[in-house]
Amino acid sequence: MYRYPVTSRILLAIDCIIFGFDGKDIKLLLVKRNLEPEMGKWSLMGGFLREDEDLEVGAGRIIFYLTGLKNIYVEQLETFGKVNRDPAERTVSVVFFALIQIDEHDSEAVRNHNASWISLDQRPELIFDHNEMVGRAIEHLRYKAALHPIGFELLPELFTIPQLQKLYEAIYNTPLDRRNFSRKLLSTGLLIDTGSKNSNSTTKKATLYKLDTIRYKEKFHAFWNFMPDSMKPVKI
């Protein structure tokens, strides 16, 4: 098999930004690095792409290794390739971000990898250019969540309108008007009323909904206008 002549090599890494929602805060799954350089410091979960892998396959492998989850929402975000971004060796990183339901992940696998769920507003300094990666991912999450129904990927199968509102308030770090938000969500036709109430509520029992998965998949790329126009981030 023919190979191109090269005088040097460049490593290709995959870094995964994994978001979850605990019912109150958006959280980020971070690991304590177990190798040099920067051993013991906080890092995104990552690894090197294998020769027989497509990028998406590599990202799925890394996320499964840490969370035990497959078939989740994963999206390629950006490529980071500054010459000196990794002090060990010339490395280009392709960044993916994933949305998972915290209750479904493999907590034992997370512990075994010395990983922790940390709220976005309490996240520590990260190694290399991982802080910049997370910042770009938060911007992208806010942009996508305003226009597409990706927020549902962070919720359990059954949820209430107040739970959904708390999710969006956590994403945007701002309070939302209850009536306007409820009206917007119900008008999409994405929600199915289960006829049941949330028995775990300590106050008035709220109606439990579930996502209309068929409509969700068919209309995912439509513009749903979930947020007020004044709050929508501009994609640069």
Q: What is the CATH number of the domain that holds 43?
A: 3.90.79.10
The residue assigned the tokens 């769920």 is 117
Same domain, 53 and 74: yes
- Tell me the pLDDT band of 120, cut-offs 50, 70 and 90: very high
* Strand ranges for the chain from DSSP E: 11-21, 26-32, 42-43, 45-48, 73-80, 91-99, 115-119, 158-159, 191-197, 207-211
Whether 136 and 172 map to the same domain: the answer is: no
198, pLDDT greater than 90: no
- For residue 153, being part of any structural domain is answered with yes
Mean pLDDT score of the chain, rounded to an integer?
Answer: 90
Domain count for the chain: 2
pLDDT, tens digit (0-9, with 9 covering 90-100), for 169-187: 999 999 998 998 898 888 8
- pLDDT band (50, 70, 90) for residue 236: very low
Q: pTM to 2 decimals?
A: 0.89
Structural domain span for residue 121: 11-146
Does 40 share its domain with 142? yes
Domain boundary among 119, 146, 173: 146
